[in-house]
Amino acid sequence: MPDIRISPRGVACPWLSWIRWSRLIGLFLLCLFMVAVISHIYLTDINSDPTDGQKLRIPLQTDEDESQIRKLNQEIKSLRKIKASVNNELRDMESKRQKLQSQISGYQKQIDILSAQIETSEKEIKSTQLTLEQLKLEKSEMDKQYLPILKAPIKMLMGENSNIKLPMPFDGQRCKMHSCFDFSRCSVFSGFPVYFYDSEKDLNIGELVPFLKNGIDEYFEENLYRTFDPSTACIFVAIVGQQINRITYSGLEKSLEKLPFWHGDGRNHILINLMRDENADIDIFGGANTGRAIIVQSPFVKTIFRSEFDIVIPPNVGKAFGDVWEELPPISPIRRKHFLSFIGSFKGKVQFQNGEQTDEQISNVEDSVISFLKNIQLKLDPEIFIKFSCDTIIPGAINGEYSMCQSDESRHELLKQSTFALIISPANESYVSTNIFQLRFYEALKYGAIPVILGDQVTLPYMEILDWKKATVILPKARLTEFHFILRTFTDTAMATMRRTGRYYFETYFSSTQSILDTALALIRTRLNIPPAPISDMKSPSVFDNNSYVDYKYEEVNPENDEILGPLEAVFPSVKFSNNFTQNVFYHKFTQTGDPFRNYPFTPFEHVLPSESKFIGSGYGFRPIGKGEGGAGKEFSEALGGNLPREQFTLVMLTYERSNVLITALQRLKGLPFLNKAVVVWNNPAPPTPDLKWPDIGVPIHVIKTTKNSLNNRFLPYDVIETEAILSIDDDAHLRHDEIVFGFRVWREERDRIVGFPGRFHAWDVKNNAWLYNSNYSCELSMVLTGAAFFHKYYAYMYSYVMPAAIREKVDEYVNCEDIAMNFLVSHITRKPPVKETSSQGDITMDIPLPRLPTDIIQ
């Protein structure tokens, strides 16, 4: 049965398709016939002679022509088949060619990957070889290092028999530490324990002034050295602060002998007089037998003062506790309205018991002083303000001393407008120090007038540990006619340095009851060669419950540079407390701006050894470039070099709600040489999510939980920071490894400065009478922001514990400016600007505009 096909119209017509094909074939044959006919006519026309005049005839088609047509059709069909076959073969060959090219491309990629792996392996081999050389050198140094065996010293005297009364020296008024102090109670490892008496209960000589009692009680509670066990105490402190002149000397002596631990002669006792009354008798302890006790007070008579044993302190007229920066005038301008000032009145005649000098001689000298000073004001220098008369004077001046005018306000305002303040020592040389003299000296330092002391027989406070030549001008009265010329030779730089030093001395050692007591105890502790109490690091609580996290290894990231920047050493900390018992540090630290009352694990002020020391005798830990032969870039990159031993740095990164940015920043640290650890300060109250993947960068990562969101957390001295060098960096700051290592090298040569990348400029704006801050690119820079900078950990202690709390409060208020505060702090301590580094990608900028700090804070 034939198939039935359906036409487009849906009608079954089996013959219709055949008819259509027949027609098409017919038309095709007709076309072939017409082509043959026309060709024949054309050929006949060409072969005929055009001159015969005969007309062309079109031949009729024959059977032979039809056979040729059929042959042509067959040849056409065969050619079409050949063409189709050739096309198929070409397509197959093209497919094979593409497959081969794809294989070649894959092989090329594999070759590139293997080449990169070879380069990476060669770099790792070189780095491993360098690390191996460093390990061999470290082992050799450890084998050769000489470590002496140290033992605690044994007791020298009779500490267990401290109740036995010891014989006094031949001259009892000439006590020295070696002859009147029991060192056996004060081992260098004792920690300097201090036992404080309850003065009202134990001394039983009257009630303390309420203001003083409250301050002393608070001081006792916060004192680091206080002990409640008298059997272990190094020294015993009794404080006097009431009208003791109402008690007879014999009564005072009996009260001292009744002290529970007087031990018969008062050895290791410190008697501190903090009386505020200028009318009090200056000879408080002169008529009483104080035995071997050390007397600490402001006024002293020469007959009872024991040099290098008793201690002269400033008058206790300041605060009990707290900062005093709000009460102090600015240091600038250096030259004030009055070049020199003095206001006071000479009191009475001089009484001498030895009769070596007469009243007439002394009167002539003082008359000459007064006369010359008046003349110099009238004739020589109109910028000098001298006044030798007072409507009312402050009582308490001794005979032969220049008293002070009663009006404190006018006297203080005069000192604020004076470049130098004249202080004339008492004509009565039997006094080592008096209340009035010390009060003049105190006020001059407080209000920024450089003290000029005329007369060199007086003793200044804490002269044993403070170099007063850096802050005062001391001249004998014999230089009276020449002192004006001497003062005029001081340059602005010299005067600024002296005023700045005097300001530091005042704030640190004079300003409050706490500072006076701290300094007196520190002086005694220094005599005993006992280091101060160590500073405390800030605890570093982890944000993770189990104090750990899981390391997720990410895919290898292409290095940002192919240079070998140094060996990948194991983590090691900086050496701590290496100068605990270094004598020159004990005395030097009191004149160095900072905190002299605590022991710091390291400071940026240690001197660098001579260049030959790293090769001769002191080469432990040093890594000179080219092993001492120098070298080019390759050798430079493979060793830290310099005149300092090898060390590492800690990276501290502050972050808040930017986990992805943080992780990316941490990933870039992988393989960074000299990195000790990364410390992430997590300022977000919410802890990290459990699914957050922390990268494995080859060194520990500590994520610290903070108590509140504060930019001050960036500078807390965390205990996990075990290196001197800190790299403070923002989580969105991108620095290459070579830039970081270069910054670290520069910091090692400038350890006391901030060394970093983003620079800023500040200056005093005269028009607006305020500080100007410029965040634009400038050729003049004065600050380096701590968003990418190296600094010493010592400054983290200073920022968190010593810098006035008002500045940290302003940082929290503005939620900004912490980098400005750190720059001002470091420059205040070192008097040096920061060091600006240039990154290969240009300066690192901050988009947040910083507000102007109030003038009183920056002062």
pLDDT tens digits for range 247-282:
677 778 888 888 889 888 889 999 998 876 554 445
553: its two tokens: 């290894």
Which pLDDT band, with edges at 50, 70 and 90, does 334 fall under? very high
Half-sphere exposure of 580 (CA within 13 A, CB side): 14
pLDDT for residue 679: 96
Cα–Cα dist 701/694, whole Å: 9
How far apart, in Å, are the Cα atoms of 642 and each of 142, 376, 608, 760?
20, 56, 10, 29
pLDDT for residue 467: 93
pLDDT for residue 142: 74
Residue 543 in this model has a pLDDT that exceeds 60? yes
Cα–Cα dist 282/299, whole Å: 6
How far apart, in Å, are the Cα atoms of 456 and each of 399, 425, 674?
18, 8, 55
Longest C-alpha distance within the chain, in Å? 178
The predicted model gives 160-172 an average pLDDT of 57
The residue ranges of every structural domain in the chain are 172-312, 330-511, 620-757+784-846
- Say which range, 253-262, 334-343, 835-844, 848-857, has the weakest mean pLDDT: 848-857
Closest CA to 276 of 307, 313, 233, 236: 313
pLDDT for residue 12: 45
- Grouping H, G, I as helix, E, B as strand and the rest as coil, residue 653 is strand
- Say which range, 322-326, 633-637, 796-800, has the weakest mean pLDDT: 633-637
With a pLDDT cut of 70, the percent of the chain lying above it is 81
450: its two tokens: 């450089």
Name the CATH superfamily, with its identifier, for domain 620-757+784-846: Spore Coat Polysaccharide Biosynthesis Protein SpsA; Chain A (3.90.550.10)
Residue 553 in this model has a pLDDT that exceeds 90? no
Q: Are 344 and 394 contacting, i.e. CB atoms less than 8 angstroms apart?
A: no
Q: How does pLDDT run across 437-450, given as a tens digit for each residue?
A: 999 999 999 999 99
Residue 747 in this model has a pLDDT that exceeds 80? yes
Q: Are 431 and 398 contacting, i.e. CB atoms less than 8 angstroms apart?
A: yes
DSSP label at 232? G
Q: How does pLDDT run across 194-236, given as a tens digit for each residue?
A: 999 987 788 776 677 777 778 888 888 889 999 999 989 999 9
**687 upstream amide cis, omega within 30 of 0:** no
With a pLDDT cut of 90, the percent of the chain lying above it is 36
Higher pLDDT, 779 or 714: 714
- Grouping H, G, I as helix, E, B as strand and the rest as coil, residue 474 is strand
- Say which range, 13-17, 464-468, 631-635, 839-843, has the weakest mean pLDDT: 13-17
Residue 606 in this model has a pLDDT that exceeds 80? yes
- Say which range, 47-56, 83-92, 652-661, has the weakest mean pLDDT: 47-56
Residue 683 in this model has a pLDDT that exceeds 60? yes
According to DSSP, the β-strands at 401-403 and 345-347 are antiparallel
Cβ burial 460-486 (10 Å sphere, 16+ → b, else e): bbbeebbebeebbbbbebeebeebbee
Cα–Cα dist 826/818, whole Å: 12
184: its two tokens: 């056996």
Q: Are 158 and 164 contacting, i.e. CB atoms less than 8 angstroms apart?
A: yes
The predicted model gives 511-535 an average pLDDT of 92
Residue 577 φ then ψ, to 5°: 50, 45
Q: Which H or E element spans position 134?
A: helix 63-144
Q: How does pLDDT run across 277-311, given as a tens digit for each residue?
A: 554 445 677 777 888 899 999 988 888 889 889 99
Residue 854 in this model has a pLDDT that exceeds 60? no
Which pLDDT band, with edges at 50, 70 and 90, does 559 fall under? low
State the Rg of the chain over Cα. Answer: 47
**Region for residue 462 given its phi and psi (left: phi exceeds 0; alpha: psi -120 to 50; beta: otherwise):** left
- Say which range, 343-347, 539-543, 681-685, has the weakest mean pLDDT: 343-347
pLDDT for residue 856: 36
Which pLDDT band, with edges at 50, 70 and 90, does 858 fall under? very low
The predicted model gives 734-742 an average pLDDT of 91
The CATH number fitting domain 330-511, selected from 3.40.1130, 3.10.450, 3.30.460, 3.40.50: 3.40.50
Which pLDDT band, with edges at 50, 70 and 90, does 525 fall under? very high
Residue 359 annotated to the active site:
no
Q: What is the mean pLDDT of the chain?
A: 82
What stretches of 483-639 show up as alpha helix (H) in DSSP? Answer: 483-488, 492-505, 513-527, 583-588, 633-638
pTM value?
Answer: 0.81
Q: Are 344 and 390 contacting, i.e. CB atoms less than 8 angstroms apart?
A: yes
pLDDT for residue 847: 35
Catalytic residue among 171, 198, 819, 843: 819
Q: How does pLDDT run across 751-777, given as a tens digit for each residue?
A: 999 999 999 999 888 888 888 888 887
DSSP label at 396? T
Cα–Cα dist 849/754, whole Å: 22
Closest CA to 419 of 338, 331, 329, 494: 338
The beta-strand segments (E) located in 636-711 are: 649-655, 675-682, 694-695, 701-705
Q: How does pLDDT run across 447-487, given as a tens digit for each residue?
A: 999 999 998 888 999 999 999 999 999 999 888 889 889 99
The angle, 0 to 180 degrees and rounded to 10, between the axes of the packed helices 210-222 and 513-527 is: 50
Which pLDDT band, with edges at 50, 70 and 90, does 71 fall under? confident
Cα–Cα dist 483/477, whole Å: 9
**CA dihedral over 825, 826, 831, 837, signed as positive or negative:** negative
Cα–Cα dist 562/809, whole Å: 45
146: its two tokens: 């000489």
Residue 686 in this model has a pLDDT that exceeds 90? no
644: its two tokens: 């300092």
